Amino acid sequence: MPITEAWDLLVESGTVSNETLEIITSINGYSEDTLNDVLYVTTGYRSFDQWLEDF
Protein backbone atom coordinates (compact mmCIF):
# COMPACT_ATOMS: atom_id res chain seq x y z
CA MET A 1 0.00 0.00 0.00
CA PRO A 2 1.39 3.41 -0.91
CA ILE A 3 2.39 5.51 2.08
CA THR A 4 0.01 8.30 1.09
CA GLU A 5 -2.88 5.82 1.15
CA ALA A 6 -1.85 4.58 4.60
CA TRP A 7 -1.70 8.17 5.87
CA ASP A 8 -5.17 8.91 4.47
CA LEU A 9 -6.65 5.76 6.02
CA LEU A 10 -5.33 6.68 9.46
CA VAL A 11 -6.74 10.19 9.23
CA GLU A 12 -10.06 9.37 7.54
CA SER A 13 -10.81 6.57 10.01
CA GLY A 14 -10.35 8.97 12.90
CA THR A 15 -7.52 6.87 14.29
CA VAL A 16 -5.08 9.78 14.41
CA SER A 17 -5.11 13.40 13.31
CA ASN A 18 -3.19 14.85 10.42
CA GLU A 19 -1.32 17.13 12.83
CA THR A 20 -0.24 14.18 14.96
CA LEU A 21 1.06 12.32 11.92
CA GLU A 22 3.00 15.40 10.84
CA ILE A 23 4.67 15.59 14.24
CA ILE A 24 5.46 11.88 14.38
CA THR A 25 6.89 11.78 10.86
CA SER A 26 8.94 14.91 11.54
CA ILE A 27 10.59 13.09 14.43
CA ASN A 28 10.78 9.51 13.12
CA GLY A 29 10.80 10.07 9.36
CA TYR A 30 8.15 9.78 6.69
CA SER A 31 8.22 6.06 6.03
CA GLU A 32 6.06 2.96 5.86
CA ASP A 33 7.69 1.71 9.07
CA THR A 34 6.70 4.87 10.93
CA LEU A 35 3.08 4.63 9.81
CA ASN A 36 3.00 0.92 10.69
CA ASP A 37 4.25 1.86 14.17
CA VAL A 38 1.46 4.43 14.49
CA LEU A 39 -1.07 1.83 13.33
CA TYR A 40 0.17 -0.67 15.92
CA VAL A 41 0.15 1.81 18.80
CA THR A 42 -3.33 3.11 17.98
CA THR A 43 -5.10 -0.10 16.89
CA GLY A 44 -2.97 -3.10 17.85
CA TYR A 45 -2.70 -4.22 14.21
CA ARG A 46 0.73 -4.94 12.79
CA SER A 47 -0.07 -4.13 9.15
CA PHE A 48 -2.55 -2.16 7.12
CA ASP A 49 -3.58 -5.32 5.26
CA GLN A 50 -4.49 -6.99 8.55
CA TRP A 51 -6.38 -3.90 9.71
CA LEU A 52 -8.35 -3.62 6.46
CA GLU A 53 -9.44 -7.26 6.72
CA ASP A 54 -11.19 -6.46 10.01
CA PHE A 55 -12.12 -2.84 9.26
Angle between helix 18-28 and 32-43 (nearest 10): 130
- Tell me the mean pLDDT in the region 9-38: 97
Q: pLDDT band for 55, please (50, 70, 90 cuts).
A: confident
- Tell me the mean pLDDT in the region 18-46: 97
Q: What is the pLDDT of residue 5?
A: 97
Residue pair 16/10 in contact by the 8 Å Cβ criterion:
yes
pTM of the model: 0.92
Domain spans of the chain?
A: 3-54
Q: What is the pLDDT of residue 44?
A: 96
